[in-house]
Chains A and B, each alone.
Chain A
Amino acid sequence: MAMKVEDHAPPPPVGMAARSLEGPRVPWRRTPEGRAQLLGICMFSPAVLYLAALIGVPLVLAFVYAFTDVKVGSASSHWVGWENFRSILQSPSFRQALVNSFIFTIVSQVLVIVGSTILSLALEDKFHGRGFVRFLILLPWVAPISLGAIGWKWILDSLYSVINWVLVALHFYKPFSAPMWLGEPHLAMASVILVHTWRLLPFSTVILLAGLTAIPKDIPEAAEVDGAGFWRILFQINIPMMLPIINVAVLFGIIFTFTDMTVVYILTAGGPFDSTQVLPSLAFFTGILAGDLSQGAAISLFLVPILVIVAYLMLRMAHRAEIT
């Protein structure tokens, strides 16, 4: 099924003559190969230009803003050097947001990987109703993030939480003393992590399932014949063979969680007392709501190191996959 990669040598500069079999020199751009390349350039240029304009330019602007004093509604802006960075690094809400971003991402990713590994193994073999089960399992990922988050806000409501009702009914708590899921700092953090995990589990499961089904049936059977039991096959054969795909799922999961502001914005708006603030939500509150674009930009730039690391890891994986 793998397509052969076209392995042409880089084309000579346009305009340089190419020797055709018949002898007379033909400009490269007129040769079939040259024409094909030109057509290719024409075909992807619109997309590339569009992306350069809507991603490249704003990216550069983000850096520019971070070093100036742009505010919403201000006409002029001045270079301020590292001032923005200095002031946000001193701000406790920023420090908390930075820490939270890492904690939320790492904890939810661990939960997601463990959960989706278990779930994808359970879903591997066909069974009656697997389609319907898959529909149910995918709901958290497919529903718009904000709507899922609002659903959880209702479930975790301080007064009417259904979870609390059950806890009280089972006599774990007295009425009115059940946990304030979104009102108490540590519980609020746990709630945010829970919602992120809930949302990413389906995505990760689907990817892992694809990885599982890609393992040729022969190999676990050979392991069975070789004497391996269920757990050995799982940990020494299946999971190692799924590692590239697990990596893909993890890296995407990290990006989706680390750069997400919606869950926090809707569940807790960063509260209580900034305890669930994360970098993207803080950037939003600072930049858009409070109007300090340059500080907002500076905050959001702290996302970049993680993105660069993830991008590097993904490229390295893709490169390795190509060699093997």
Chain B
Amino acid sequence: MAVVETKALTKVFKEGEVGAVNNVNLQTREGEFLVFLGPSGSGKTTLLRMIAGLEQPTSGEILIGGSVVNHLTPRERRIAMVFQSYALYPHLSVYNNIAFPLKAQGVKRELHRQKVEWAAELLGIKRLLDRKPRQLSGGERQRVALARAIVREPTVFLLDEPLSNLDAKLRASAREELESFHKRIGTTTIYVTHDQVEAMAMGDRVMVLHQGHVRQIGTPTEVYDRPADTFVATFLGSPPMNLLENGDAIVGFRPEHLLPIELAQKAATTFRLRVKNTEYLGAEWIVYGAVAGGKFDGKELISRLGSAASFEADQTYDFGVREPDLHFFDRQTEKRTEAKVLAWR
């Protein structure tokens, strides 16, 4: 188990163009499950591949377990990686897939069977050992990929969007399996995804990336309840946070905090919303409306409610937001600032 660190890590693919990864500083904690979260093109996969050794950084350092590893090949870094496609060797049986890293690292022949069976047992795939990858389901393939990764007892696990190839229903159970797997093994894990639900559910900490820059590193609670800038604020949470410009500040509040006035006691601010559209999702309502009158007339806001409330289109209702639920961002830098006085009442 080791700590992964990067110092001022940068990757520029084409000279003169914006870097794919810019000046990233991070330090994992022992045994934690760290998520790299960001939209496509944010550099999260490039960052992961540099840590793995599959991509060379343009500048900066990568350290594993305290030593600089920039010059080491993937093989020498003692990391394990699970690819998005799982990259199982199609011509080898499951047993030989799992045994491959052992062979490659020169582990004694006699120990192979024991280790492979241990890994297979851990992931519940012992009965699949004689099959070929093409005969396995998506979830089974993930488990084989994990077994192949764990059999080497690596110090760090790298996972590159392993759930994105699974269909929605399977994704939830596969996610749960990954989480319990991590609890059992406890190896430091870095997990790349663009899905913020996965990030929130699985991560001990989440690192939000945008255009190669780190926007925030924090626990799910920190990035959700105290986003460091408007990007993090709108990227996490679905539907995204409502943002209003007011003077030199941007004010934000999440849809679940935009409540009918009866529910928002001691609201710090209220809006009159003309309802445009509502979506009934079973467990909750999403209400799309536009402000009617006042400084923000016409601005569209989203509210998210759990009750069986009914709203009719084109009717106006009063909504409010409580003081603790307001977020403030500097208009210029888009970064989080202290609470300001609301000047439009």
Taking the complex as a whole, does A directly touch B, i.e. does some CB pair lie under 8 Å apart?
A: yes
A232–B85 contact, CB under 8 A?
Answer: no
Q: Which residue of B lies closest to A217 (CB)?
A: B87
* B139 interface residue per 8 A CB criterion: no
One digit per residue, 1 when the CB lies within 8 angstroms of any chain A CB and 0 when it does not, for chain B 116-160 equals: 000000000000000000100000000000001000100000000
Q: Which of the candidate stretches A50-58, A137-145, A221-229 sits at the interface with the other chain?
A: A221-229
A221–B91 contact, CB under 8 A?
Answer: no
* B73 interface residue per 8 A CB criterion: yes
A226–B83 contact, CB under 8 A?
Answer: no
A222–B81 contact, CB under 8 A?
Answer: yes
A228–B91 contact, CB under 8 A?
Answer: no
B87–A221 contact, CB under 8 A?
Answer: yes
Q: How far is the CA of A263 from the CA of B46 in the complex (A)?
A: 53
Q: Enumerate chain B residues within 8 angstroms of A221, measured Cβ to Cβ.
A: 54, 74, 83, 87
Q: How far is the CA of A223 from the CA of B149 in the complex (A)?
A: 11
Question: Given A229-B75, A324-B134, does the pair A219, B87 have CB atoms closer than 8 Å?
Answer: yes
Q: Which of the candidate stretches B98-106, B303-311, B314-322 sits at the interface with the other chain?
A: B98-106
- Chain A: minimal CB distance from B101 (Å): 4
A225–B134 contact, CB under 8 A?
Answer: no
* A216 interface residue per 8 A CB criterion: yes
Q: How far is the CA of A236 from the CA of B83 in the complex (A)?
A: 19
Q: How far is the CA of A225 from the CA of B148 in the complex (A)?
A: 11
A224–B91 contact, CB under 8 A?
Answer: no
Q: Which residue of A lies closest to B151 (CB)?
A: A226
One digit per residue, 1 when the CB lies within 8 angstroms of any chain A CB and 0 when it does not, for chain B 51-88 equals: 01110000000000000000001110001110111010
A224–B73 contact, CB under 8 A?
Answer: yes
Q: Enumerate chain B residues within 8 angstroms of A216, measured Cβ to Cβ.
A: 85, 87
- Chain B: minimal CB distance from A286 (Å): 47
- Chain B: minimal CB distance from A186 (Å): 41
Question: Given A219-B87, A240-B91, A241-B91, does the pair A227, B54 have CB atoms closer than 8 Å?
Answer: no
Q: How far is the CA of A99 from the CA of B73 in the complex (A)?
A: 51
* A7 interface residue per 8 A CB criterion: no
Q: How far is the CA of A224 from the CA of B105 in the complex (A)?
A: 11
B74, B89, B90, B103: the one contacting A224 at CB < 8 Å is: B74
B101–A227 contact, CB under 8 A?
Answer: yes
* A125 interface residue per 8 A CB criterion: no
A225–B89 contact, CB under 8 A?
Answer: no
A227–B152 contact, CB under 8 A?
Answer: yes
Q: How far is the CA of A236 from the CA of B91 in the complex (A)?
A: 10
Q: Enumerate chain A residues within 8 angstroms of B84, measured Cβ to Cβ.
A: 218
Q: Enumerate chain B residues within 8 angstroms of A226, measured Cβ to Cβ.
A: 75, 80, 100-101, 104-105, 148, 152
Question: Given A225-B74, A227-B104, A228-B104, does the pair A237, B89 have CB atoms closer than 8 Å?
Answer: yes
One digit per residue, 1 when the CB lies within 8 angstroms of any chain B CB and 0 when it does not, for chain A 227-246 equals: 11100100011001101000
Q: Enumerate chain A residues within 8 angstroms of B103, measured Cβ to Cβ.
A: 232
Q: Which residue of A lies closest to B105 (CB)?
A: A227
B90–A218 contact, CB under 8 A?
Answer: no
With a 10 A CB-CB cut-off, give which of B100, B134, B152 has the most chain A CB atoms: B100
Q: Enumerate chain B residues within 8 angstroms of A223, measured Cβ to Cβ.
A: 89, 100, 104
Q: Which residues of A from 66 to 120 have beta carbons under 8 Å from B?
A: none
B74, B83, B105, B134: the one contacting A218 at CB < 8 Å is: B83
A218–B87 contact, CB under 8 A?
Answer: yes
With a 10 A CB-CB cut-off, give which of A225, A232, A241 has the most chain B CB atoms: A225
A225–B81 contact, CB under 8 A?
Answer: yes
B75–A225 contact, CB under 8 A?
Answer: yes
Q: Which residue of A lies closest to B158 (CB)?
A: A225
Q: How far is the CA of A64 from the CA of B79 in the complex (A)?
A: 69
Q: Enumerate chain A residues within 8 angstroms of B53, measured Cβ to Cβ.
A: 225
Q: Which residue of A lies closest to B75 (CB)?
A: A227
Q: Enumerate chain B residues within 8 angstroms of A227, measured Cβ to Cβ.
A: 75, 101, 104-105, 152
Q: Enumerate chain B residues within 8 angstroms of A241, measured Cβ to Cβ.
A: 90-91
B89–A228 contact, CB under 8 A?
Answer: no
Q: Which residues of A from 205 to 224 have beta carbons under 8 Å from B?
A: 216, 218-219, 221-224
A225–B79 contact, CB under 8 A?
Answer: yes
Q: Which residues of B from 216 to 243 have beta carbons under 8 Å from A?
A: none
Q: Which residues of A from 17 to 41 have beta carbons under 8 Å from B?
A: none
- Chain A: minimal CB distance from B148 (Å): 7
Q: Enumerate chain B residues within 8 angstroms of A224, measured Cβ to Cβ.
A: 54, 73-75
- Chain B: minimal CB distance from A254 (Å): 24
Q: How far is the CA of A219 from the CA of B134 in the complex (A)?
A: 14
Q: Which residue of A lies closest to B81 (CB)?
A: A225
Q: A225-B79, A226-B100, A228-B100 are in contact. List 10 more A-B contacts (CB 8 A).
A: A216-B85, A216-B87, A218-B83, A219-B87, A222-B87, A223-B100, A226-B105, A227-B101, A227-B152, A229-B75
Q: Can you list 6 A-B pairs, Cβ within 8 angstroms, ordered by A? A: A222-B81, A224-B75, A226-B104, A226-B105, A226-B152, A232-B104
The 6 closest A-B pairs by CB, nearest first: A222-B87, A218-B87, A227-B104, A226-B101, A228-B104, A227-B105
Chain A residues within 8 Å of B, Cβ to Cβ: 216, 218-219, 221-229, 232, 236-237, 240-241, 243, 324
